[in-house]
Structure 1
Amino acid sequence: MERPLAWRSVTVVAVLLFGVLLALSPSYGYHRDELYFRVLSEHPGWGYVDQPPLTPLLAGAGIRLFGDTITGIRVFPALAMAVLVWLVALIARELDGSRAAQTLAAAGTATGAYTLIAGHSLLTLSFDLPLWAAAILFLLRALLREGEPRWWLAAGAVIGLATYNKHLIALLVLGLAAGLAAVGPRRVLASPWLWAGGLLALALAVPNLIYQVANDWPQLSMAAALSADKGAEQRMLFVPMQLTLFGPAVSVIAAFGFVRLWRDRRVRALAVAYPVAAALTLIAGGRFDYTGGLVLLLFAAGCVSAAAAARGVRLAAGAGLAFSGLLSALLALPLVPVAELAETPVPVLNEVARESVGWPEFVAAAQSARAAVPPAEQATAMVFTGSYGEHGALVRAGVPRVYSAHNHLWLFGPPPDTATTAVLVNVGPRIRGQFGTCEPRATVGNRAGVDNEEQGLTVWLCRDLRTPWSVSWPRWRHFS
Structure 2
Amino acid sequence: MASKTVFGRQPPQPAAVLLFAGAAAAVIALHLATNGTLGFHTDELYYLDCGWHPALGYVDFPPIVPLLARLETGLHGVNPWNLRVLPTLLGGFMVVLSGAYVRRLGGSLRLQALALLIAITAPYLLGANWVFQTVTFDEATWMVSLYWFLCLVIDPRPRYWIYLGLTLGIGLEVKYTIVGLIAGIAVAVFFTPRLRAKLRTKYPWIAGAIALLIWAPNLVWQFAEGLPTLAYIANHGGSGGGPLANAIVIVVYLFFLLPLWLFGLVTLFRSPLLRPIGIACTLPLVLFLFVGKSYYAVGTVPIVLAQGLMAVGRLRRPRLRSSVQVAVVIAAALEFVVFAQVTLPITPPSRLHAAGLDAKNELFADSVGWDDIARQVQTIYGDLPDGERNGTIIISAYYGVPGALRIYGDPKRIPVVVSPQLSDWYWLPGNLNATDALMVDYQPSDVAWMCESPRLVAHLSVPYHVQGLEQGAPVTFCHLNAPVQQVWRRLRNFS
TM score, norm. by length of structure 2 = 0.91
Contact 1:111 1:328 in 2 (8 A): no
Is 1:103 aligned to 2:140, yes or no?
no
Pick one of 253, 278, 286 that aligns with 1:271.
278
Superposition deviation, residue 221 in structure 1: 1.0
Range 19-28 or range 342-351, more displaced:
342-351
Superposition deviation, residue 416 in structure 1: 5.5
Residues 317, 459 of structure 1: alpha-carbon distance in 2 compared, 3 angstrom cutoff: same
Residue in structure 1 matched with residue 475 of structure 2 by the alignment: 459
| 3-state DSSP of counterpart to 1:43 | coil
Alpha-carbon distance in structure 1 between the residues aligned to 2:402 and 2:188? 44
Contact 2:392 2:415 in 1 (8 A): no
Residue in structure 2 matched with residue 125 of structure 1 by the alignment: 135
Residue in structure 2 matched with residue 194 of structure 1 by the alignment: 204
Alpha-carbon distance in structure 2 between the residues aligned to 1:54 and 1:326? 34
Letter in 2 for 1:67: G
Letter in 2 for 1:444: L
Alpha-carbon distance in structure 2 between the residues aligned to 1:31 and 1:88? 28
Superposition deviation, residue 268 in structure 1: 0.4
Superposition deviation, residue 266 in structure 1: 1.9
* CA shift digits 1:158-199 (9 cap, x unpaired): 111111101222211211222233354443444432232222
Residue in structure 2 matched with residue 155 of structure 1 by the alignment: 164
Is 1:76 aligned to 2:86, yes or no?
yes
Alpha-carbon distance in structure 2 between the residues aligned to 1:269 and 1:97? 19
Pick one of 131, 137, 140 that aligns with 2:150.
140
Residue in structure 1 matched with residue 298 of structure 2 by the alignment: 292
Letter in 1 for 2:169: G
Residue in structure 1 matched with residue 183 of structure 2 by the alignment: 174
Kindly report the root-mean-square deviation, in angstroms, between the aligned alpha carbons of the 2 structures. Answer: 2.0
Pick one of 368, 376, 382 that aligns with 2:379.
368
* CA shift digits 1:427-457 (9 cap, x unpaired): 2534244222333222222233222321111
* CA shift digits 1:201-253 (9 cap, x unpaired): 2222222221211111111111001015x25x1434210111233x4234332
Range 422-431 or range 385-394, more displaced:
422-431
Letter in 2 for 1:77: P
Residue in structure 1 matched with residue 318 of structure 2 by the alignment: none
Correspondence 1:229-268 to 2 at 5 A: 230-231=239-240, 233-245=241-253, 247-268=254-275
Residue in structure 2 matched with residue 343 of structure 1 by the alignment: 354
Alpha-carbon distance in structure 1 between the residues aligned to 2:42 and 2:342? 19
Contact 2:173 2:214 in 1 (8 A): no
| 3-state DSSP of counterpart to 1:439 | strand
Range 252-261 or range 48-57, more displaced:
252-261
Is 1:331 aligned to 2:317, yes or no?
no
Is 1:357 aligned to 2:368, yes or no?
yes
Alpha-carbon distance in structure 2 between the residues aligned to 1:132 and 1:275? 13
Contact 2:350 2:464 in 1 (8 A): yes
Alpha-carbon distance in structure 1 between the residues aligned to 2:296 and 2:151? 23
Is 1:218 aligned to 2:228, yes or no?
yes
Alpha-carbon distance in structure 2 between the residues aligned to 1:338 and 1:151? 46
Alpha-carbon distance in structure 1 between the residues aligned to 2:372 and 2:137? 30
Pick one of 402, 405, 412 that aligns with 1:394.
405
Alpha-carbon distance in structure 2 between the residues aligned to 1:433 and 1:182? 56
Contact 1:234 1:288 in 2 (8 A): no
| 3-state DSSP of counterpart to 1:323 | helix
Contact 1:416 1:470 in 2 (8 A): no
- Number of aligned residue pairs: 474
Residue in structure 1 matched with residue 50 of structure 2 by the alignment: 40
| 3-state DSSP of counterpart to 1:45 | coil
Superposition deviation, residue 4 in structure 1: 5.0
Residues 357, 308 of structure 1: alpha-carbon distance in 2 compared, 3 angstrom cutoff: farther
| 3-state DSSP of counterpart to 2:58 | coil
Pick one of 47, 64, 69 that aligns with 1:54.
64
Superposition deviation, residue 144 in structure 1: 0.4
Alpha-carbon distance in structure 2 between the residues aligned to 1:235 and 1:23? 36
Contact 2:45 2:403 in 1 (8 A): yes
Contact 1:383 1:424 in 2 (8 A): yes
Alpha-carbon distance in structure 2 between the residues aligned to 1:424 and 1:191? 59
Contact 1:77 1:120 in 2 (8 A): yes
Superposition deviation, residue 316 in structure 1: 0.3
| 3-state DSSP of counterpart to 2:347 | coil
| 3-state DSSP of counterpart to 1:383 | strand
Is 1:88 aligned to 2:98, yes or no?
yes
* CA shift digits 1:248-302 (9 cap, x unpaired): 234332211112322221220120223311232234x301211111122211222
Contact 2:256 2:335 in 1 (8 A): yes
Q: Could you tell me the percent identity over the aligned residues?
A: 28
| 3-state DSSP of counterpart to 1:71 | helix
Correspondence 1:299-448 to 2 at 5 A: 299-309=305-315, 310-398=321-409, 399-413=414-428, 418-428=433-443, 429-448=445-464
Superposition deviation, residue 379 in structure 1: 4.5
Contact 1:253 1:302 in 2 (8 A): yes
Alpha-carbon distance in structure 1 between the residues aligned to 2:257 and 2:362? 21
Letter in 2 for 1:452: G
Residue in structure 2 matched with residue 479 of structure 1 by the alignment: 494
Range 42-51 or range 181-190, more displaced:
181-190
| 3-state DSSP of counterpart to 1:150 | helix
Letter in 2 for 1:152: W
* Gaps in structure 1 of 5+ consecutive residues: none
Alpha-carbon distance in structure 1 between the residues aligned to 2:352 and 2:330? 28
| 3-state DSSP of counterpart to 1:382 | strand
Alpha-carbon distance in structure 2 between the residues aligned to 1:178 and 1:79? 32
Residue in structure 1 matched with residue 288 of structure 2 by the alignment: 281
| 3-state DSSP of counterpart to 2:60 | coil
